[in-house]
Amino acid sequence: MKSDITFGQYVEGNSVIHRLDPRVKIVISLVYIVAIFLAKSVTAFILLTVSSAVFVVMTGISPRLILRSMKPLLFIIIFTAVINLFFMTGENPVFEWRFIHIYREGIINACLIVLRIVLLITATSVFLTYTTTPLALTDALEQLLSPLKKLHVPVHEFSMMMTIALRFIPTLIDETQKIINAQTARGADFTSGGLIKRGKALVPILIPLFISAFRRADELATAMECRCYTGGEGRTRMNTLKSKPKDWVFFFCILLLTAGIVLLNIFFPLYTVLK
């Protein structure tokens, strides 16, 4: 049961991108997302597509896996494409029939929007979900947000909560399966009947699940207190994050890329349509 669940989407690997400082990866993805939204012209999109392809190759993750991560968003992608196709007006009509008008600008725009979404998913997959463990992400987030501590935001506590929540997801899934089995063995039926009946059928699963979650939380709190955990103040870490030269190199490359896109938008605005 347990091994069936791929929790998060981290793909084991040892590529340059895998080994980047997770803080840098978070910042890079933000910058790259800004770059994707800044791109307005076909030339800029060509540059983005090529660079994304290079990143995918660098991670060593099969492109098929990245395409698969787009499946859940397929509906949104198609929906936005269709909306743009039919409702974008322009000067070059391609197809007209009664109330349907399709313009060349609409077609290009729809394609670019789809490309934009695909690039967004690829970028976050490549930099974050596929190459960074959830734990590394929360650690990095804690450090990136640490200036907020000055404003009395409990950054450490939030990140500790997130870490614990992540840690317990597989445990709770396991537990849920056990409880479902136990109640099924007593003849519980979750698959027939109307909405209300099905909702009621969940009670014998949810109550034991909540109780055991509270029990676990209580036990964990006691265990942490026994080891003198008091929170973020003066706490050191076993693995401290250190950025190396290659992290900075990567960071500046992305900045250059963004600058390039702005320049392309201005100087080679081939088919600038996206508004």
Partner 1 sequence: MNAIEMRHVSFAYGSAKNGPTAKKALDDISLAVESGGITGLIGHTGSGKSTLVQMINGLLKPDEGEVLLDGVNIWAEPKKIRQFRFKAGLVMQYPEYQLFAETVAEDIAFGPKNMGLEKDELDRRVREAARFAGLADDLLQKSPFDLSGGQKRRAALAGVIAMRPKILILDEPAAGLDPAGRRDILGGIKRFSRESGTTVLIVSHSMEDMAMYCDDIIVMAHAKILMHKPTAEVFSDWEQLASVGLDVPLITRVAAALIENGVDIGRDVYTVDYAVGKVRELLGENPES
Residues 6+ apart with CB under 8 A from 12: none
In the three-class reduction of DSSP (H, G, I as helix; E, B as strand; rest coil), residue 62 is classed as: coil
Q: Looking at beta carbons only, is 94 or 207 nearer to partner 1?
A: 207
Count the Cβ atoms, other than its own, within 10 Å of residue 224.
13
The token duo for 67 is 């395409």
d(CA 109, CA 83): 10
d(CA 52, CA 49): 5
Q: Which long-range contacts (CB under 8 A, 24 or more apart) does 104-108 make?
A: 105/273, 108/42, 108/271, 108/273
* Shortest Å, Cβ 124 to partner 1: 27
* Shortest Å, Cβ 60 to partner 1: 21
> For residue 103, what are the β-bridge partners?
93
Candidate residues 62, 92, 171, 181; the one interacting with partner 1 per rule CB under 8 A: 181
Binding window for partner 1 (CB under 8 A); candidates: 56-64, 140-148, 173-181, 244-252: 173-181
Candidate residues 148, 182, 217, 220; the one interacting with partner 1 per rule CB under 8 A: 182
Q: Does residue 160 belong to the site contacting partner 1 (CB under 8 A)?
A: no
Q: Looking at beta carbons only, is 157 or 189 nearer to partner 1?
A: 189
Q: Looking at beta carbons only, is 124 or 177 nearer to partner 1?
A: 177
Q: Looking at beta carbons only, is 135 or 188 nearer to partner 1?
A: 188
The secondary structure of residue 230, as a DSSP letter, is -
Q: Does residue 3 belong to the site contacting partner 1 (CB under 8 A)?
A: yes
Candidate residues 188, 213, 241, 262; the one interacting with partner 1 per rule CB under 8 A: 188
> What is the C-alpha radius of gyration for the chain, rounded to an integer number of angstroms?
24
In this structure, are residues 103 and 90 in contact, taking their beta carbons and an 8 Å threshold? yes
Candidate residues 46, 163, 178, 265; the one interacting with partner 1 per rule CB under 8 A: 178
* Shortest Å, Cβ 180 to partner 1: 9
In Å, the largest CA–CA distance within the chain is 75
Q: Looking at beta carbons only, is 49 or 177 nearer to partner 1?
A: 177
* Shortest Å, Cβ 5 to partner 1: 9
